[in-house]
Amino acid sequence: MMRLFALLAILASLFLSGCSENQNGAVEPTTEASKPALWKATRSDGTGGSAWLMGTVHLLPADIDWQGLKIDKAIEQSSHLVVEVAALEDQSRLATVFSNMGIRAGLPPLSQRIAPDLRSALNAAQKRSAIPFKVLDRMESWAAALTLAAATSANLGLRQDLGVERVLTLRFKSAQKSVAGLETIEQQFGYFDQLSEADQRAMLNAVLRTGPTNNESYTIMLDAWLSGNNDKLLDRPEDGILATPGSRIALLERRNQIWTNQIATMIDKGERPFVAVGAAHLAGKGGVQALLETKGYKVIRIQ
């Protein structure tokens, strides 16, 4: 399934390493196109630098060839890579931050934080995650929602090391180019932690109602991404992560606005970043590239 946030990939690697066997067979795209959306943004007056904007998928199956000449050229012309959060390979630190922000004693059991008709779905989700209830019950509602959402695609055999950000990071480091993040891991977890308890519980309920992802639904998402149809990705409620207007504003719209300002500053300073963020952040009228246009920047789609 599509992941708006690298957090789900993080949680998959932290907690679900034992649940990654592909039980439904290999995921294969049905489209022959392999042209993920790519834009170039510059100042309208021709001064300053340039930013290449690419939507990504944080987890991918094997044998997906998404790189091509236009992406190669953009990487060659760019000065450095900018992702949502850099240095995600430090799993120990990620686990520490998640525990500090998302786990605490004295919380009601998850079974008391969900709709009564979802208790069987909660039991099934717990079995998929292989995380004991004594651990899940100590998670904040947002943390439990993310953890269980990460487990929904564990049966598809998706791999974080094949995700676009990880591949791009290796390419840039091999070329001795730096890698920076738009956010810190504390900031990204913080967006969830600052949600109201009502929004957190709505997210948890929505994740449970969605249930596990199957090959067919993931393939639809993968085809949309490979063919550059980012807008289609917004048709999905992101397995409950954007379950309420409050969560959508906090987790998608507000972050898009913050990132747009950061990227605009880079362009104004003459920098040439290659910006790779979850594809849904580059979709619709509120996408980063659309917001740059509203600020007066020239944005051209090059793939």
Helix (H, G, I), strand (E, B) or coil at 159: strand
Kindly state the tokens that stand for 231. Answer: 């807008």
Q: Does residue 49 lie within any of the structural domains?
A: yes
The reported pLDDT for the residue numbered 167 is: 93
C-alpha closest to that of 109 among 131, 129, 133: 133
- Look at residue 25 and tell me if it is in a domain: no
Whether 86 is covered by a domain: the verdict is yes
Does residue 1 form part of some domain? Answer: no
Tell me, rounded to whole angstroms, the distance of Cα 210 from its chain centroid. Answer: 18
Residue 23 burial (CB count, 10 A): 12
Digit-coded pLDDT (tens) for 221-230: 888 899 998 8
Average pLDDT over residues 264-285: 95
Please give the average per-residue pLDDT across 20-46, as a whole number.
Answer: 74
pLDDT of the residue at 287 = 94
24 lies in some domain: no
Highest mean pLDDT out of 124-128, 228-232, 262-266: 262-266
Residue 271 lies in a domain: yes
Query: How many domains does the structure of the chain reveal?
Result: 1
pLDDT in tens, 93-121: 888 899 899 999 999 999 999 999 999 99
Give 246's contacts (C-beta < 8 A, 6+ positions apart): 195, 196, 198, 199
Residue 236 and residue 258 in contact, taking contact as beta carbons nearer than 8 Å: no
Sheet holding 273-278, edge to edge: 179-183, 80-85, 273-278, 50-56, 38-43, 297-301
Task: State the first-to-last Cα distance of the chain, in angstroms, to the nearest integer.
Answer: 23
Segments forming the whole domain that contains residue 165? 6-19+31-301
**Which residue from 43, 70, 42 is spatially nearest to 54, judged by alpha carbons?**
70
